Amino acid sequence: MKCHEVDYTIIGDDLQTVEVELDPGETVVAEAGAMNWMDDGIAFEAKMGDGSQANESLMGKLFSAGKRAITGESLFITHFTNQGSGKRAVTFGAPFPGKIVPLDMAECGGEMLCQKDAFLCAAKGTSIGIAFTKKFGAGFFGGEGFVLQRLQGDGMAFLHAGGTVVKKELANETIKVDTGCIVGFTPGIDYSIEAVGLKSAFFGGEGLFLATLRGTGTVYLQSLPFSRLADRIIEHAPRQAGGERQGEGSVLGGIGDLIGGR
């Protein structure tokens, strides 16, 4: 299915939103809860499928929802459609501080592999699936996990990333990256995990494993993965005299308890 042709504007700097402009009848699909505001005349509906397959059967929609569940995402994707007579806009925001990356999928060769929580929204017609990494070790030790999201289409798609986003064009080259700093890459890039020396891991603070990206294609990197941001927040959370954090019953306290194994 050919993707809808949508216009967009990126708003802001460090806490960005993307305003997607829709002509009558056009639709943009987004992660549940990503919408910030929208014009009157736009209708929205939560659906199991991404709408990329015309006349998709119920079993197909259930299979698509199951694949999304594997990546840890919501079973449903929200469809926003302009049912008015003129142009209407809907705005989406990232769930944590960072940047929004606009991707013209036609310029990316029609496909992009990204970490499982990077997808924000896309023009209807974009297929949102899963891709298993070729090397099993990448699943256990890579920050992206064994399952990556695969975006396919010829329209606009939008990813979100933490901190500053860097776009690198590799021409039969190799780079080593902290596993959590990968946002996405084109299929021409080979992705694997390699162990670093124990001394460097324990005393350098860089972790036991680095991702190695080889080949020719485009790579998007982020300077502040959400996991690193969460670690810093928990580390500096105020504590009471007895060593317990203030607000133990809060969401922040709960996150800290999970990470600390409590």
Q: In tens digits, what is the pLDDT along the chain, a chain of 262 residues? A: 688 999 999 999 878 999 999 999 999 999 888 999 999 999 999 887 776 766 655 555 555 555 555 555 566 889 999 998 899 999 999 888 889 999 999 998 899 999 878 899 999 999 988 876 555 454 444 444 456 888 999 999 999 998 889 999 999 999 998 878 889 999 889 988 776 655 454 444 555 677 889 999 999 999 887 766 666 677 777 765 555 555 444 444 444 454 444 4
Q: What is the pLDDT of residue 252?
A: 46
Q: What is the pTM of this model?
A: 0.77
The residues with which 195 forms a beta bridge, in sequence order, are: 209
Whether 152 and 105 have beta carbons less than 8 Å apart is answered as yes
Mapped onto helix, strand or coil, the DSSP state of residue 229 is: helix
Domains of the chain: 7-224 (3.60.160.10), 227-259 (no CATH)
> What is the DSSP secondary structure assignment for residue 38, as one 8-state letter?
E
User: Among residues 162, 180, 164, which one has the least CA distance to residue 94?
Assistant: 162
Structure tokens that stand for 106 in this block: 């036609």
Q: What is the pLDDT of residue 261?
A: 45
Q: Exposed, middle or buried: residue 107 (CB in 10 Å: 0-12, 13-18, 19+)?
A: exposed
Q: What is the pLDDT of residue 144?
A: 45
CA-to-CA distance for 34 and 37, rounded, in angstroms?
A: 10
